[in-house]
Structure 1
Amino acid sequence: MKKLTFLLLLLLSYTGVFAQSNLGVTMDDTLQSSGKIYVVVSIIAIIFVGLALYLFSIDRRLKKIENEK
């Protein structure tokens, strides 16, 4: 039952891609022409690196606690 539900969910999400219009997105053109796209990408990269470091530190703490018991 889980596999069937998962398959149905994937099929519905796949058909949603075709429902999008072919109109161009002007926000990325504007950001790229003004050079601000690099600022956006660098901020997103900093956030992901911060989250990864946070998760690794939590994992290290949990391993330390598990080894104490």
Structure 2
Amino acid sequence: MNQLVYLNDQDMYTVALGLSTLRSSLTSPMHLIMAGTMIMIIPATIIFLVGQRYFTEGIATTGIKG
């Protein structure tokens, strides 16, 4: 909840903070929370899939003693 210290305006909330605020309401619309979660996860998944070769190369080269 450190974001709340810096973000005073609700329009400036991050996606994770907005989902947390939406979840804390009395009647949590689960379909909106799940849709927001997918929107938040998709970019990270795409970046991982595109750069997966580089991630595994970095892990493999750290085990080699020179």
**TM-score, normalised relative to structure 2:** 0.36
Q: Which has the higher contact order (CA 8 A, sep 6+)?
A: 2
**TM-score, normalised relative to structure 1:** 0.35
Between Structure 1 and Structure 2, whose CA radius of gyration is higher? 1
